[in-house]
Chain A
């Protein structure tokens, strides 16, 4: 079963999700998702609140464990108990709605923690990498600041830099701009846009329809734990086939 799942996966598939189900107690939140995402693809996930978007993302790095189906990331089957989860997670960075920066560390320490603890880099190398990453997100001058001293947009850019520090080839964004004041949304989207341009494989849960339309290769619309409709931005936004998609879009556009 899982062997056939893997052989059916195209060679360039970074993420392969088959029949994914997830229940919290008796509450089934994901009701059988099938998603293939190939290398360099940018997939935006939209849908009403409570439809299971976050849970879907969290099943991709096993912050939540799926109840049924298979999830294969970079060839690692997350359902396989012998798979080193910590190793897999270094392939797949995650950015949260509420940043989750470590408040007791400086910006630089936040970014250096994982590479140093995972012994990927020496302290000096990790520092150099961190400075480079900070420069890349436009915050080179904030290296020694504490998270509490930063604006929301700056915090989120640091969080992105922190995820990038372990050199992932997949990035997950869970409403990365939803907690931000409107004037800061742009600076964070710009960083994500740059990553897309560099060819990073990404799954982006977002409420920013304009951004999805511009950046996504594919848009998935979820409701009530199922994928209702998916397609290119032009298809999904321009000519939605399902009534629920039309309904949702008419409310948010």
Chain B
């Protein structure tokens, strides 16, 4: 019943959202305004719900603990929401993605440990600063050679793309003669340093301090640089009431002391947690990973079904007599085979809403990307299958007086399907693996869940092993099942 609803025109988004809610693994976390009855003046945004974008991996400002989004930013936005009587739905998208989502009005605001800069002020409106940051440099624990910027000559350092750390590192790169490599998130940067690919990382000091205290294998070697301040942002000219409410709430929390207790909770040196064994990690991470796997399979299943329809349609176009239809199919195939899947995903999630003004949820965007992409490959599989059937078969059918359609249906297709089945199975596996690319637009599938886990526990290798093992098991089980069905029906 539920499955049927998905295909009802115009209901895709609704059905998909419902499914997501059922799957329970969606990135959005709602924080209800619990203390609305408190004696605060009713603000202009009271009772409203705002979608807030944030980073995935910027501990201690935002990260996941036991599957829940937590951190300074999260506590702050939730307490301000409660204080001002509005509701927030948080979307954990990644830093770059959150900013793009804000520009395309996919989200109403962004809180992501974001420095207030003049450049950003051109496109966003910022709240009062809520945190004073600064850049610090850290190296691998075992590294005794590098104790200051002067030791960096000829070396490579990493910084987070678009961050203050990157700006600072680049500003002194010439002076100290080192190269700056930009990466997308903190966990990747720390791994890069530990693996020796780069010698040092420039990151915001609270982030570094938190990671070091989580035994991430680094140590800080410089004092924190005078840095800029973090602010909450809305799109230029949009949501002024939300911005005002944030400022009012922040002022309230500061005067009540709640603000300081939030900072202390994350920035006081916590006792290093004893690392649990591999099986501890496995049992801790499995619930979140299973949710991710569920979404991976959901996206794969929906995409493959749609791709099959597209593939059959355009595949027939490709073998048709009409030059128009053949041309159409060729254009479709060359567009989707001729551009990277990642670019397609970004386009559908960020680009399309900017062009149409119609926002699109992440599963719809993901399924759209994967099905159109897989559909192009399916088209070629269907074309190849039909064309690999001996033309003598069609001639025999037609010479008996059978119509083109009947000949296709009874003579050509049964043989073509048999030829196509192994390629279909192959495409199915490819699409399943391609779902992992949707992590970049914040789709909470298996790879994304894995990234979330090692972003907060820094056990990258072990976590990725578990993730890979899950893919391996599922893909091989599905392949075995498909081959069995193939043997059974395509004798």
- Known: A104-B415, A117-B410. Contact between A89 and B399, CB under 8 A? yes
Contact A96 B396 (CB under 8 A): yes
User: Roughly how many angstroms separate A166 CA and B399 CA in the complex, as a whole number?
Assistant: 11
Contact with A along B389-427 (1 / 0, CB 8 A): 010110111111111001000110011001000000000
Contact B401 A100 (CB under 8 A): no
- Bin the interface of chain B by size: 10 to 19
Among residues 365 to 408 in chain B, which have CB atoms less than 8 Å away from a CB atom of chain A? 390, 392-393, 395-403, 406
User: Roughly how many angstroms separate A200 CA and B392 CA in the complex, as a whole number?
Assistant: 24
Contact of A61 among B399, B402, B418 (CB under 8 A): B399
User: Roughly how many angstroms separate A166 CA and B403 CA in the complex, as a whole number?
Assistant: 14
Contact with B along A144-176 (1 / 0, CB 8 A): 000000000000000100110010000000000
Among residues 41 to 99 in chain A, which have CB atoms less than 8 Å away from a CB atom of chain B? 61, 63, 86-90, 92-94, 96, 98
User: Roughly how many angstroms separate A95 CA and B97 CA in the complex, as a whole number?
Assistant: 65
Contact of B390 among A89, A93, A100, A117 (CB under 8 A): A100
Contact A98 B414 (CB under 8 A): no
The answer to whether the Cβ of A118 comes within 8 Å of any Cβ in the partner chain is yes
User: Roughly how many angstroms separate A114 CA and B396 CA in the complex, as a whole number?
Assistant: 10
Contact with A along B22-52 (1 / 0, CB 8 A): 0000000000000000000000000000000
- Known: A100-B390, A113-B410, A117-B410. Contact between A89 and B401, CB under 8 A? yes
Interface size on A, residues (CB 8 A): 25
Contact with B along A198-242 (1 / 0, CB 8 A): 000000000000000000000000000000000000000000000
Q: How far is the CB of B285 from chain A (nearest CB, A)?
A: 49
User: Roughly how many angstroms separate A159 CA and B400 CA in the complex, as a whole number?
Assistant: 11
Q: Classify the interface of chain B: helix, strand, loop or mixed.
A: helix
Cβ–Cβ < 8 Å partners of B403 in chain A: 86
Contact B398 A89 (CB under 8 A): yes
- Known: A102-B411, A104-B414, A113-B410. Contact between A96 and B402, CB under 8 A? no
Contact of A63 among B398, B410, B411, B414 (CB under 8 A): B398
The residue of chain A having its C-beta at the shortest distance from the C-beta of B414 within the complex is A104
The answer to whether the Cβ of A103 comes within 8 Å of any Cβ in the partner chain is yes
The residue of chain A having its C-beta at the shortest distance from the C-beta of B403 within the complex is A86
The residue of chain A having its C-beta at the shortest distance from the C-beta of B412 within the complex is A102
Contact B400 A100 (CB under 8 A): no
Q: How far is the CB of B437 from chain A (nearest CB, A)?
A: 38
Contact B392 A118 (CB under 8 A): no
Contact of A117 among B399, B406, B418 (CB under 8 A): B406
User: Roughly how many angstroms separate A103 CA and B406 CA in the complex, as a whole number?
Assistant: 16
The residue of chain A having its C-beta at the shortest distance from the C-beta of B391 within the complex is A100
User: Roughly how many angstroms separate A96 CA and B393 CA in the complex, as a whole number?
Assistant: 11
The residue of chain B having its C-beta at the shortest distance from the C-beta of A84 within the complex is B401
Q: How far is the CB of A172 from chain B (nearest CB, A)?
A: 8
Cβ–Cβ < 8 Å partners of B406 in chain A: 117
Cβ–Cβ < 8 Å partners of B415 in chain A: 103-104
Q: How far is the CB of B406 from chain A (nearest CB, A)?
A: 5
Cβ–Cβ < 8 Å partners of B395 in chain A: 63, 96, 100
Q: How far is the CB of A205 from chain B (nearest CB, A)?
A: 15
Cβ–Cβ < 8 Å partners of A87 in chain B: 401
Cβ–Cβ < 8 Å partners of A103 in chain B: 415
Contact of A89 among B400, B411, B414 (CB under 8 A): B400
The residue of chain A having its C-beta at the shortest distance from the C-beta of B418 within the complex is A104
Contact B396 A100 (CB under 8 A): yes
Cβ–Cβ < 8 Å partners of B397 in chain A: 102
The residue of chain B having its C-beta at the shortest distance from the C-beta of A87 within the complex is B401
The residue of chain B having its C-beta at the shortest distance from the C-beta of A62 within the complex is B398
Contact of B392 among A100, A162, A166 (CB under 8 A): A100
Contact B401 A86 (CB under 8 A): yes
Q: How far is the CB of A119 from chain B (nearest CB, A)?
A: 11
Cβ–Cβ < 8 Å partners of A96 in chain B: 392, 395-396
Residue from B392, B396, B406 with most neighbouring chain A CB atoms (10 Å): B396
Q: How far is the CB of A234 from chain B (nearest CB, A)?
A: 33
Cβ–Cβ < 8 Å partners of B418 in chain A: 104
Contact A90 B401 (CB under 8 A): yes
Contact A162 B400 (CB under 8 A): yes
Contact of A166 among B393, B398, B400 (CB under 8 A): B400
Contact A86 B402 (CB under 8 A): yes
Q: How far is the CB of A206 from chain B (nearest CB, A)?
A: 18
User: Roughly how many angstroms separate A90 CA and B400 CA in the complex, as a whole number?
Assistant: 6
Q: How far is the CB of A44 from chain B (nearest CB, A)?
A: 20
The residue of chain A having its C-beta at the shortest distance from the C-beta of B399 within the complex is A94
User: Roughly how many angstroms separate A102 CA and B411 CA in the complex, as a whole number?
Assistant: 7
User: Roughly how many angstroms separate A86 CA and B402 CA in the complex, as a whole number?
Assistant: 6
User: Roughly how many angstroms separate A182 CA and B392 CA in the complex, as a whole number?
Assistant: 23
Q: List 5 A-B contacts (CB under 8 A).
A: A96-B395, A98-B392, A100-B393, A100-B396, A114-B402
User: Given contacts A87-B401, A102-B411, A163-B399, could you give 5 more A-B pairs where the C-beta distance is less than 8 Å?
Assistant: A86-B401, A89-B401, A101-B396, A117-B406, A162-B400
Q: Which 4 A-B pairs have the closest CB atoms?
A: A100-B396, A90-B401, A114-B400, A89-B401
Q: Which residues of B contact A (CB under 8 A)?
A: 390, 392-393, 395-403, 406, 410-411, 414-415, 418
